[in-house]
A and B are shown apart, each in its own frame.
Chain A
Amino acid sequence: GAGVSQSPRYKVAKRGQDVALRCDPISGHVSLFWYQQALGQGPEFLTYFQNEAQLDKSGLPSDRFFAERPEGSVSTLKIQRTQQEDSAVYLCASSSTSARGNEQYFGPGTRLTVT
Chain B
Amino acid sequence: SQELEQSPQSLIVQEGKNLTINCTSSKTLYGLYWYKQKYGEGLIFLMMLQKGGEEKSHEKITAKLDEKKQQSSLHITASQPSHAGIYLCGAVDVTQGGSEKLVFGKGMKLTVNP
Residues of A within 8 A of B (CB): 4, 31, 33, 35, 40-45, 48, 50, 53, 55-56, 58-59, 91, 93, 95, 98-109, 111
| A111 touching B97 in the complex, CB below 8 Å, given contacts A43-B104, A45-B102, A103-B45 | no
CB neighbours (8 Å) of A40 from chain B are 106-107
Of A42, A44, A91, A100, the residue contacting B42 (CB under 8 A) is A91
Q: Which residues of the other chain, B, contact A53 by a CB distance below 8 angstroms? A: 97
Using a Cβ–Cβ cut-off of 8 Å, how many residues does chain B contribute to the interface with A? 29
Verify B99–A98 contact, CB threshold 8 A: yes
CA distance A56 to B33 in the complex (A): 21
Residues on B facing A (Cβ under 8 Å): 4, 31, 33, 35, 40-45, 48, 50, 88, 90, 92-93, 95-107
Asked whether A111 lies within 8 Å of B42 as measured between CB atoms, the reply is no
Chain A neighbourhood of B4, CB < 8 A: 42
A-B contact sample (5 more), CB < 8 A, given A56-B97, A104-B45:
A55-B95, A55-B98, A103-B33, A106-B45, A107-B42
Can you report 6 residue pairs joining A to B where beta carbons are below 8 Å apart?
A50-B97, A50-B99, A55-B96, A100-B99, A101-B50, A108-B42
Closest Cβ of chain A to B100, distance in Å, is 5
